Structure 1
Amino acid sequence: MDKLPEDFMMEVTLSFHKVIEHYRERLTTETNPIAIAFLNATLEYVDKHPRLESGLKMEEIKVEQEAISTLLSDLFPRALTLNEIKAATVPFSDFLFNKTERFENILSHADGKEFSLLSNTDFDYFTMASGLILQTIYGANVDLSKPLHCQLPDQKGYLRTYRITYNADFVEVALKDEKYRLSDKCIKELLRNPDDKELWKSKFPKNSYTFKGFGIISLTDVTMDNAISDLKTVLLGNLGEKSNHETEKVENIFKQMFNMDDLQVGFTVYNNIDNLFESMVYSDSNSYLLGASHEKNCMNALCRESYKHLLEDFTALIITDVKNYRKTLENTFIADNLISAGINSAIFYPISHEGRLLGILELASPSKYVLNAFNARKLEDVTDYLKMALIRSEQEYETTIKALIQTECTSIHPSVQWKFEQEARRLIRARAESSDDSFRDLVFEDVSPLYGQIDVVGSSDARNEAIKIDLISQLELVSEIFAFAKANEPLPIYDQIIHRINKFQEELEFNSINANTEREIIGILEGEINPFMDHVKDLSNKLKQLVTDYENTLNPESGVIFTNRDNYDTTVQVVNERLARFLDRKQKEAQEIYPHFFERYKTDGVEHNIYVGSSIVRGQAYNPVYLYNLRLWQLQTMIQMENKFYQYQESLPVQLEAASMILVFGNTLGIRYRIDEKRFDVDGAYNARYEVVKKRIDKANIKGTQERITQKGKISIIYTNHESELEYLRYISFLQDQKYLNNEVELLELGDVQGVVGLKAIRVGVLYNRNSEDNKRLTFKDLLQELHQQ
C-alpha cells in the first residue's frame, strides 16, 4: 500500500470486518426495537458492499466513502461532527478518511498540506506494530499508551497544540506462519533490549504477521494545558531578569491561551510594607495600572470599589469598556493610564498568598469587550504557578536588599531596618535603570535621645597599677638571680645590671608608672636581661632552678610578667561582656514599651544610646508617655547593672568599682546614618552640642570643686532644665520606695564642659544586694565591707 512507511515490513489490509462482526453479535442480544432496526438496516446495506468486510484497496476508499460513513456512524455520530476531532485511518499509515467536519476545518488552515502523523509527531509505526503483536498474539504486558502531540495553525495563524490518541481496537493481528512464532525466551530478550532495533527487526521478519482492520485517531485541543506548561517553564527561570525575550515569551503564551493576537500582558508588584503599587525591577514588563509612574500609593491609585476588589477580596477587576468605565469613577488614575496606552478592555487579576497580595497580573486589549468575566476564568489555572514564581522572586529580591544593606552599611538595628530597606529598594530600582546612584544618608527627625553608661572608676590608674605590680615582681626576681650569678661568677656586668634594676625599682616605688617608663623597662628586660638567662642558669643548679622558675612566670610571647595586668583585663572583659548581655536582655523588654533605636558598646564599661520618636517607627502612633516610660526603665536598668557589676566580680580575680551616669536631653534632635562612615550620628550643628556633652560629661566636676560628678556607689543624672529635674525626682522617689535607691539625694551644678554651660545633676546612692535572690539591701559602704570579708 503506497501510503505505508517505506520501511514497514508487515502486510496490512484495510477492512471493517470487526465492526460488522460486532453488529452481528449485538443483533443476537439486542432487545430495543429501534436498535434492532438500525442494526438490520446497516447490515443489509453493508452486504451490498462486500469489500468493506473482505478488504479494500487504497483507491477504493473514495468509491466506498458513503458506505464507510454509514457503517461507522455509530463511531462517528453526525451530531458531534463539529465538536470531535476524529478520523479513520489505514493501520500504520498516514492516510486519513472519514474525517469529522471540525477536523476538516482544522486541516484547511494548515497551508493546504495534508495532515501527516509522520511529519507532525514522533510516532514510530514499527514499534507500535511490534508492540501490538506482542500484546495481541503473545499476551505480553506492553504499554502502548505513549502520548503523542502535534501542532497545527488556526485561522489566525497561531499554532495550537493537540494530543493524539490512536485506537487500534478494530485491528486484527494474525501470525502468518508458525515458523515465525516467538518463544518465551525471545520475548524476554526483546523486552530486555527495547532500543535494539536490529534485534527487533530480526524477530519480526517481513510479512511474518498480518494486520487487518482500521484505526481511529482522535485529537484533543490541549493548547491551554500546553501554554500553562510553557508558562510554568518560563516562571521557573528568573522572573526578575530583565529580558525582552522572556517578556515577549510570556506575552505570546497568554496570546495562545486567550487566542488573541492583540493581547498585551503587564504586571504590577504590590509593596505591602508601604501599601504601594510598584513596577517590576529588572524587568521590561509593562504596568498598565501605573502607566508612566514607577510607583503609586494604592489608595491614590484605585477607587474604593477597585481597592476592595484587588486588595481586600482578592478578586479580579474586569473592565470590558474602559471609556464607559471611566465615566463612573471619581479616581480615574487607572482608566486614564489605560486610555493613554490605547487599551479598551482589561483584566487586573490579583495574585495572593495566605491572605497577602503579591501583585497584579494585567491583561489588556485595544478591543472592547474581548476581555471579560468568561475568559478571565482561564487565569484560575495559572494562579498557582504565578504565585510560586512571585514568592521566589520576592525572596530573591529581599535577599538582594539585605545583601545591598550589608555591603553599603554595617549591621542595622531592627527598629530602623525598614528605612534601610526602603532606600535599598530605591537604589536597586535606580541601578536597574542604569543610574550611577549610590546609597544615601538616612535621617530620622525629631527623636528624643537617652544616654547612659556604667564605667570602671579610675580604670587607667587601676590598669597602670596592675602593670606596675607585675614589673616590680619581675625586677625582684631578676635582681635575685643576678645576685646569685655574681656570687658564682664575679663579673662587673652583673654589678651594672643590678644597679640598673635598683634604679628602676626606686622609680616604680615612689612614682606612678607612665608609658615611657614601662617601655624602657620592658625593652631592657627583653633585649638585655632575658638573653643572659641561658648563660646564667648554667652556673649552678641553684641558678638553673631560679631561672626556670623565673621563665615560667613570663608571658611566652612578650617575655614579661603579665599576671596582674591579665587579671585586670580579664575581669574588665568578663564583667563588661556579662553587663552587655544583661542590657541586651533588658532591651527586649524596653522594645515592648515602644519600638526604638538602640545601640550599646563596650569601653572600660558599657555605654548605650537610645533614640525614640515617630520617625523611627513606621505606622505606629507616638506619645510622650513612651519617652517617660523609657526614662524610668533606663534608670531602673542602670541600678540593676550597678548591682550586677559587683555580683559578677565575686568569682573574678580583681575587685573593681563602678560609677554610673545618665544624660537627659530635654529637646528632640535629628540623627543621621552617614553612609561614608557607616555609623549613626546627630544631625546638624546645633544637635552636635549633645554629642560634646555626652563625650565629656563623665569627666566633669561639680562647680567650684575638683570633685568628679560621677562617683562610685552613686548614679548621676545630668540635665539642663527644671522640668527634667522634677521628672527624675519623681522617679527617684518611686525607686526609693522600691528599695532601689537610698535617701541620699544631691542637687548639684556642674562646671562648664567645652563651652556648654548650665548643666545640673542629681546624684543619688544605690542600694545593693549580693545576688538576685537576696532581698537584703546594702549601701555601697556595706557592700564593700562584705566583699572584702570574703
Structure 2
Amino acid sequence: MANELSRCIDTNRVADPKEGLLLDLSYTLDDRSECCQEGETPDLDIAQPVAPPILPWLELIQHYSHLVMAVVDVATKVGTPPQPHPVLFANRYFCRLTGIRTEGGHLDLSFFDRLALSHQKALRERFRRHFLSALLQHAYGQRGLVSQRLLHEPLVVALPDSETGQMRQVELRLRTAEQGLSITAISPELEASLAACWAEPPSHEQIATQLLSKEPAFKQLLAALKPENYTVSGQILIEGVDVTERETSKALIQLLVGHESVLGTRRFEQANALMKQLFSATDSFLLSAENSQAQLFTRLDQPEWQIATYPIEDLQGSAFLRATERREVVNVPDLSLDCTTPCEVDMLKQGARSLLLIPLVMRTAQLGDSTAQMVGLVGITSPKPYAFDQADCSRAMTLIPALTAAMRHSVQDRFTNIHPSVRWRFEQEAERLSLGLPPAPIVFEGVYPLYGISDIRGSSDERNRAIQKDLVAQFQLALAVVEAAGRSVNNALVGQLALDLADHIATLEVGVTVDSEVTLLRYLQAEVEVHFTYFAQHSAEAEAAIAQYKAAIDANHGCVYTARAVYDETIGHINGLLRETWNQWQQSMQAITAHYCDLEATDGIDHMIYAGQAIDPTFTEFQLKSLRYEQLRAVCDCARKGFALKAAYDTDMTITHLVLVQGYTVDIVHDETTERLFDVRGTRDTRYEIVKKRIDKACDAEMGDRITQPGMLTVVYSTSEEWHEYERYLRYLHREGIVDGHVEQGTVEPLQGVSGLKFARVRVNPE
C-alpha cells in the first residue's frame, strides 16, 4: 500500500526543509483511488481539487524564490595555485545581488569587491571554518569538532540591488552536507602547523575556545590553511535571506535608545531617514502635546522645522487622538476621506494622503477629555492613498518602546529644558527602566536654593489700557456699520442696537473690567456680526462699513488686536532682553559650580537655582558664596539693561528686582505628574515655596509701600547670619560701582503663614 502511494507522488515532490524533498500536492479523487484498493482509505488526507501543473522545482527556486541561494564547487590540490571556485548553481536573486551571470560564472573577487572590507573578512572567516572542520576530520578522523553553530553562524552583509540600486541587508549562512567537503592530502607546512597547535586530538570545547581566543599557534594554523596547502573536493551551499527591514529597525532602535537627545541632532536626521526607508514613506512629522496646546512639527528634513500650534480641543475626533486613546498604531488609508480637524486639513494641504500614526503614551500632558496622556506622536506620510498596510502597523508597534524613550528624553530637552547639570540622573533612571527595573524617585538632597525675580511693574495696567483701546476701536467700527444700515433700513431695532453700542463705548472709555475682553467680543459676534449679511443687502454704505470692520480684524485673534499687539511685542522685547542678559551671566555662574537653573518668563523673568554636592560632588562653601555674589551681580546687570526701557518703548512700565535669601538646604524631587521639573520635598521646604510666590508683592510693614522699587535691588532675608553675609556682598557691589552706598532696611509685613522676614534695598547705578 505504501509503495503504491509513494509511486503516485514520486514524480513531483515538495521539499521538506530538513530532507530536501519537494512535495507536489496535486491530487485528484481519481488519482487517490488508483493508489488504494477498493474499500481502503489512504493514510494521507489528500486534497481533492485538481491543481494546475507547476514548473519544475529547480526552476521555482531559481527564478521565483525570495531566498539567496548558490552552490559553490570546491576543488583544490596541494601545490597548485588557487583557482576561483565555480558556481554550480545560483538562483536569480543571488545573481541579482552579487552581479554574477545567470548562466554560471565564478565566485571571484567581483563578488567580494561589492562587500565592505569588514564583510569580506568575515565571509572569508566563515569559509575557513568549513575547511578547518574538514581538515580536523582528515587529521584526527573525528567529525563535528567544529560545532554546527559556528559553521552555520549567520553573517549580515550589505549589497546594492543591481535592479533598484537600493542597499539590501542579507543574512548569509554557509552549509555543507554530511560529506560535503573531503580533504585527502595536506602539505608539510599545514601538517606542522596542525601538530604545533594540537599534539593530541583536540576536543570540541578546545576548538571552540581557540576560535574565540585565537592564540598564536592557532593563528599560525589559520594562516597556513590556504588552498595550495590541501587537496579538497566538495560543495558549499550559500543561502541567505533578505533582512533589510529587520536590520533597518535594529539600526533605528539603536539610534533612538542612545543616551543623547535625538531631536535637533545629526542622530535625528539618521533616524528620520531610516524611518522613511523602513516604511517606504516620503515624509514624517512629530506631534507634541503640552498643557492645553499641541504642536505639529513638519519638514523634519529641513534645517528649520515648520511648526503649527493647535488648541487641544481641535484634536477631538481626529485620527491623532484615536491613536492615543487606543494606544496602538493607526493607519489612515486616505486622509481626504477622514479629515475633520484643522490639523488634519493642514496635513492634507501639505500633500499627505496616507498616514501611519505611532502614539507615544506616557504620564505627562493631558489630552483634552481623553484618559490617555501623550508626550508625542510620530507620524509618517505618503502622497499616495492606501500606502501602508497591516504589516507596516505591526512593524511600527515594535518601535513604540524605543520611540517613546527617545521622545521622552528629547521632549524633556526641547520643551521642558532638562538642565545639563542634572541630565545625568535622568539618563541613569532611563537606563534602569530600559532594563525592566521599577522606577525610582529622582531626588537631589541637601541643595541650596537661590531665587530671584525681575518683575515688570505696571504690565497689568498697560495691558488693560491696550484692551480698552482695541475694544473701543472695534465697537466704533461696529457702530459705524449699524448707523449706516439705519440710514437705509427703517427699523426701530436698528436704532436701539446703535444706542446699545454707544452705551458700551461710553462704559469702555471709563475703563475695562476683568471679563470685558471676553464678554464684549461675544456680544459683538452674537448681536452685530451675525446681521452683517442682512445689513449689506439693504445698504451699500453699510456694506462698505462692514468691509472696513472686517479689514481691522486680526486673523489670528478674531478681533481688533492693534494695541494689544504692540503690548505683546513690548513685553516680548523686555523679556528677551532680560533673558539674554541672564543667560550670558549663566556661563560665568556655571563655571563656579555646576548647578540647576530654571528660568521662566511671563511679565519679566524669575530664576530658581539649586546648587550642592548632590548635583556637583566637588561643591564647597566657597563656591556657594561665589555663586550668591555672582547672582547679585547678574540681577544688577538686568536692572541696568532696564533703565532705557521708558525711552525705548514709550511706556510707563518699569522693572523691579528682588533676591530671596535662604541659608539652609532643601530637598528637590522630580514628579512626572506636575508641570515643573522639580518640586521641594517636606513641610520646611514648602515654606520657601510660599515665600517665593508672594514676596514680590510684599510691602514694608512700617511704611506700607512695596519693598521692591524701580531701579533698585531688594534682598529679602530671615536671620542675622544671612544679613551679615549679604551686607558684605552689598559692600562689594558698591566697591565695584554697581550699586549706591546707601542701604535702606525694613521689615516685611507678615505674609499668609510667614512672618519675620526683613529686607534691604539699594539703588543700582547706571553703567
Report the TM-score, using the length of structure 1 for normalisation: 0.47
Q: For the pair shown, which has the larger CA radius of gyration, 1 or 2?
A: 1
